Amino acid sequence: MNGRDGSKEASIQRGDRSFLIHPDVARHDFGNDPFAGSHGALDHYLGAGILYYALGYLSRSQVSICIGSGGGFVPSLMRRAQLDIGIDPSVTMLIDADIPDLAFGSPHQPGGWLTTENTFLQRESDILVLPMLSRDAAKILTTEGIGIDYLHIDGDHSRTGVLADFKAYAPLLTQQGMITLHDYRLPSVSEAVREILESYPGWEHLTFPEVGTGTILLRRALPPDVPRQPQNWTEFTDKGRKTTLAQEELQSCITEYKRKSRFTHWQYLTTSAYRLRYVLAMEFIDQTDCTVVEVGGYPNTVVRHLQQASVVHLVEPYAPQEYVAEVEALAAEAGTTLFLHQTNLADSNFDSSCLGAFNLVLLGLDISPGCETREDYEQTLVALLRLISSANRVALEIPDRAPSKMTWTLISEAFHPTLQLDVTLDYGHDPVADAYYVKDNRSLRRLILFSLEDSPCPTTERIRSLVHETADALWKIHIKLNEPHNYAYCIGTTIDFTSEGNADGYKAQGWVGAEKDHSWMIGDESVLFLSFDEKSMPSIPSVALEMDLKPLLAPGLLERQRVTVTINNFPFFSLIVTEPGTININIPTDILRGQQPIKLLLQHPDARRPCDINPESTDRKLLSVAVRKLVFKNLQQITENHDI
């Protein structure tokens, strides 16, 4: 008979033997998950999913917990094992703070468990979802006395994140509890596992690096005389086992932790590497008996670095108790008078006109948190300009992100400040990049020190016009980031990556903003999502993927760019690009059918910074290949046109 890929395969005689795992169930409930391929799954083949199911099944897990999930693949299998056995009482929990910076995906990405096209929440309605940081969930579980039989770690993929999850949850495991960790092939995860095994010699492990993106199983070594599991239904499970959480207290915690998670994932900023930004700014900002105002410093604080200033005002929209206690202790130790304003910059409760003379610190400037309307953006920009115009000196630092760069452009055009220092710090190659998995444009930080001493005074009309334009631009970005995508695509439609093109509707991570003639792929990989219109899909076995590419090259230094094309986690083609041109790849139409959207992953390991290979360039972004256009073509129509 014919296989799914069109090839011939031997007929399998089942006789009267029923499916133990029915292919239709495996395909519908698990195989269609867009993230299933990372677990080695394919169609009705579950890959490492059978391991997750078997561990819950074998251990008779009454409490299974999954930290982080893209589409719900793992928690669904955990719960299915409990249901198939009929374990009662039992619970499966999914802990997910929905912070894509810390992992490889978000439940809001196409096909994610929080999207309308994913049926996880409806199908698995008895799975308890804890939308919070894993360390906060661990506190709740500890307080409630919940023991864990089976734990899957797939959340924060940084080395420190994996270690933190292991250390927080290992004490909660039952005597025979087990842990699986996903993405073992990732260096940050494998490094964390190595440290775990070195620090906890009493743990056994079994690795499956060849399956998907790799999975490792960890378990405490059991004594030889460990008692057997009961072999009767009366004692099959612990009927008195606690598997529930107090709902009223839980909802209160969820509300607080959801708010907290918006701020507390910036912990990489507290490392000594990122605190260098403060060190560089202090010589300019810290003056004898001066007043310093800092806006949005959390989780850092300028108080830690000041030695001469006598008064500090901190404007912090989020200031948890432990942060307040830390800042107050630092100020008391230094003899600094501290005023903490727990408010947004534009809030009427903060009046900068009463501050007198002051220096201003704005490190990591991003006004978008807290702005939910266009009016919010405009009011915040007005308040920001008013604050800057009153400051003697300003230390401002921006990450390489559009909202921050737009805000700086507004400041620059409004005041034409006198710059004392303008330097870009690249943390992409610092050890902190691997430890916290910060390798995107967050790792490029531009530090600018300036004053308005000799700057011309802008007119009110000019300021009003600039603020209006910037607020409009920031609001458009806000809408784009929050609007649902359908990624609709018809065979034959050209995706244009120029500044006037339509590619932004398909781009996910790994792209630089479109330029006049193309868009650059940045870092190690770039992603597109496309929802194929079934009516436009030809009946022939394959279509042609055509891409117009321009590689970043430098004679004698960088002679090629390697690119691997992967669709829905299946590598289809690898090529070496040595000159600008068009490439064509045949793609089986079967892989483009089914659950939409499909994920088109372009991996490019030879990315380099132009400034490293061209002394005349100041571009520090990790670029690889520029794309001008991309189109899936109907091979049948191409052949017919050729025949004519």
Q: Say what the pLDDT of residue 133 is.
A: 85
pLDDT digits 0-9 by tens, 345-394: 877 566 777 888 999 999 999 888 668 788 889 999 999 999 999 999 99
Lowest mean pLDDT across 190-194, 452-456, 471-475? 452-456
Residue with more model confidence, 629 or 568: 629
How far apart (Å, rounded) are the C-alpha atoms in residues 503 and 332? 54
Q: Say what the pLDDT of residue 478 is.
A: 81
**Maximum mean pLDDT: which of 108-112, 451-455, 541-545:** 541-545
User: Is pLDDT of 6 > 60?
Assistant: no
Q: Say what the pLDDT of residue 548 is.
A: 96
Pairing of strands 444-451, 393-399: antiparallel
pLDDT digits 0-9 by tens, 500-534: 888 988 887 788 878 889 999 988 888 898 988 87
How far apart (Å, rounded) are the C-alpha atoms in residues 626 and 249? 52
Query: 356 Cβ partners below 8 Å, 6+ apart?
Result: 291
Backbone φ and ψ of 432, nearest 5°: -65, -25
Average pLDDT value for residue range 443-451: 94
How far apart (Å, rounded) are the C-alpha atoms in residues 549 and 35? 28
Lowest mean pLDDT across 111-125, 248-262, 317-331? 248-262
Neighbours of 229 (CB within 10 A): 11
Per-residue pLDDT band for 258 (boundaries 50, 70, 90) equals low
- SS3 of 535-572: the string is HHCCCCCEEEEEEEEEECCECCCECCEEEEEEECCEEE
134-144 and 247-261 helices cross at what angle (nearest 10)?
A: 160
The CATH 2.60.120.260 portion of the chain extends over 488-637
How far apart (Å, rounded) are the C-alpha atoms in residues 169 and 130? 15
Q: Say what the pLDDT of residue 103 is.
A: 46
E strands in 557-639: 561-567, 570-577, 581-588, 598-603, 623-633
pLDDT digits 0-9 by tens, 477-509: 887 766 656 688 999 999 999 988 889 888 877
Cα separation values, 399 from 277, 396, 403, 444, Å: 12, 10, 9, 6
Backbone φ and ψ of 92, nearest 5°: -115, 130
441, 425 contact by CB (below 8 A):
no
How far apart (Å, rounded) are the C-alpha atoms in residues 581 and 558? 17
Pairing of strands 598-603, 623-633: unpaired
Per-residue pLDDT band for 572 (boundaries 50, 70, 90) equals confident
Q: Which CATH number fits domain 267-481: 3.40.640.10, 2.170.150.70, 3.40.50.2000, 3.40.50.150?
A: 3.40.50.150
Query: 429 Cβ partners below 8 Å, 6+ apart?
Result: none
User: Is pLDDT of 9 > 80?
Assistant: no
Average pLDDT value for residue range 417-431: 90
Average pLDDT value for residue range 549-566: 93
Residue among 481, 507, 511, 518 nearest 599 (CA): 507
Q: Which two tokens stand for residue 177?
A: 């509890």
The CATH 3.40.50.150 portion of the chain extends over 23-223+237-260, 267-481
Query: 379 Cβ partners below 8 Å, 6+ apart?
Result: 346
584, 545 contact by CB (below 8 A):
yes
Q: Domain 488-637 belongs to what architecture?
A: Sandwich (2.60)
402-415 and 374-390 helices cross at what angle (nearest 10)?
A: 50
Helix and strand element counts for the chain (H, E) = 16, 24
Q: Which amino acid is at 411?
A: I
**Maximum mean pLDDT: which of 147-151, 210-214, 573-577:** 147-151
The pTM score is 0.61
Q: What number does CATH give the domain 23-223+237-260?
A: 3.40.50.150
62, 241 contact by CB (below 8 A):
yes
DSSP designation for 147: -
Q: Say what the pLDDT of residue 485 is.
A: 65
